[in-house]
Amino acid sequence: MINQTLNPKLFDEDIEQAPSRNGFGEGLVIAGEENPNIVGLCADLTESTRMEAFKNKFPERFIEVGVAEQNMVTVASGMAHEGKIPFTSSYATFSPGRNWEQIRTTICYNNVPVKIIGSHSGISVGADGATHQALEDIAMMRALPNMVVIVPADSIEAKKATIAIAKNGLPSYLRLSRDKVPVITTENSPFEIGKAEVLWNGSPSASSGQLPSATIIACGQMVYMALMVAKQLEEDKISVRVINCHTIKPMDTKTILASAEETGAIVTAEEHQVNGGLGSAVAEIVSQSYPVPIKIIGIEDTFGESGAPSELLKKFGLTQENIKKAVLEVLRRKKHV
């Protein structure tokens, strides 16, 4: 059964599409209106990261630091020490890619509420190529003590996440996309940091009233693909559960373990290296408490390359077809456990 708070046009060909960075821009203005202590800092990418709307509305609360990512987060840390809530934005390959040590030492070690916005993440950056395609950032950031890591599924969820991290009082990383992705949630869809959402929970017609036989856990634009796969599998009389795991850290251990126990097989999907990302986080939890067959869909230990986003997703195995094959694989393994 599908979550009723999702976009009613979810399976339509003309579903609205937007980059998740658009939602960040909208959410930052809302957060700025609510709290005068919120400030913005950008590394010469104000328009690209969608921080421009905040800059235009609150020019006295915005700092353009130039191409100096290490300086940007260090300045932000100092501002946080003085009671401000800084949001810093750049491409994810530069922040946290270039300034990870400064984030570690000046922000996380001191546990100050700086918000790191990493835009243009993943291979769907496209023609910018391997140097600009951040594929390791989730792993880098979730390893840091005190850091919250969020990967929104779409622009609406990115807006909600922006508003939420403005209030959480913690170092936080928000991972955003450059390319347009389907808007699958609505303003009524729930969002809570650390709470994964079940978006699809099988179908009586496919499962004969029983629990789903596998779980697909996804983040970012892969959530939409997971839902499309669930619909396809239902037509084949295979029932699955789909979970939007937007918060990679802290992860919703309760929901993940419940699905492991109830469905007995898991596929994870992310636009990130298979090492250290969502799949690794899920495997760490499940392997220690309720081991089940798992298949991780992601970038297989390689760098990206230039190309159209759709071409790259296909080349690197991040498609609906790949997710579907992975589900069938874990179901076969499940029978032999």
Q: Which residues are catalytic?
A: 69
DSSP secondary structure of 207-226: HTTSPPSEEEEE-TTHHHHH
Structure tokens at 192: 């809570």
C-alpha–C-alpha distance, residues 93 and 79, integer Å? 24
**Terminal-to-terminal C-alpha distance of the chain:** 27
Helix (H, G, I), strand (E, B) or coil at 325: helix
C-alpha–C-alpha distance, residues 165 and 87, integer Å? 10
C-alpha–C-alpha distance, residues 20 and 304, integer Å? 20
> What radius of gyration do the chain's Cα atoms show?
19
Q: Which residues contact 82 (CB under 8 A, 6 or more apart)?
A: none
Task: Put residue 215 in one of left, alpha, beta given phi > 0 → left and psi -120 to 50 → alpha.
Answer: beta
Cα angle for residues 206, 247, 110 (degrees, 5° grid): 165
Structure tokens at 77: 């840390």
DSSP secondary structure of 126-190: GGG-GGG-B-SHHHHHHTSTT-EEE--SSHHHHHHHHHHHTTS-S-EEEE--SS-EE----TTS-
Taking alpha carbons only, the member of 167, 168, 170, 227 closest to residue 197 is 227
C-alpha–C-alpha distance, residues 56 and 282, integer Å? 41
C-alpha–C-alpha distance, residues 270 and 188, integer Å? 25
